[in-house]
């Protein structure tokens, strides 16, 4: 069984191992962020974006899944007084990420929809 690339990417970001992060990205990698409408083009920009992100933040890989040339990672990000979650979907070739889509959300940033309480329960329960 091979070691998945995408979870390693996140673990290296947590370790602030910027050369190690770069080694897992194709030079012309493209990462899309649909939640904010941004595209990060190129290894240098993706590394710089993560390296330069302000504050004291820490990442935890919650899970990872793979298929042929595809990997999915779920991540928790603890940042100051807020918690965020990310889901990343990556195309991996020859051990490097060539394309990805990451979705980010802040925990509890959306109130439950009125009228469905009888069908749901709090995750805090």
In a domain, 120, yes or no: no
pLDDT digits (tens, 9 = 90+) for 90-109: 999 999 999 999 999 998 88
pLDDT score, position 42: 98
Q: How many domains does the chain have?
A: 1
CB 47 within 8 A of CB 21: yes
In a domain, 13, yes or no: yes
In a domain, 114, yes or no: no
Q: Which residues form the domain of 86?
A: 5-108
In a domain, 61, yes or no: yes
Strands 70-79 and 82-93: antiparallel
Average pLDDT estimate for 66-82: 92
In a domain, 62, yes or no: yes
3-state secondary structure of 70: strand
In a domain, 119, yes or no: no
Averaged confidence pLDDT in the chain? 92
Give the domain CATH number at 56. Answer: 3.10.450.50
In a domain, 121, yes or no: no
pTM of the model: 0.88
In a domain, 125, yes or no: no
pLDDT score, position 125: 61
Report whether pLDDT(121) > 90: no
């Amino acid at each position: 069984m091979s070691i998945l690339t995408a979870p390693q990417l996140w673990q290296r970001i947590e370790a602030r191992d910027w050369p190690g992060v770069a080694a897992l990205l194709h030079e012309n990698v493209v990462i899309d962020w649909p939640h904010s409408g941004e595209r990060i083009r190129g290894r240098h920009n993706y590394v710089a974006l993560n390296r330069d992100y302000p504050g004291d933040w820490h990442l935890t890989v919650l899970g990872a899944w793979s298929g042929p040339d595809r990997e999915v990672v779920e991540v928790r990000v603890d940042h100051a007084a807020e918690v965020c979650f990310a889901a990343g979907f990556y195309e991996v070739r020859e051990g490097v990420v060539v394309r990805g889509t990451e979705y980010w959300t802040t925990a509890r940033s959306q109130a439950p929809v009125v009228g469905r309480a009888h069908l749901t329960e709090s995750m805090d329960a």
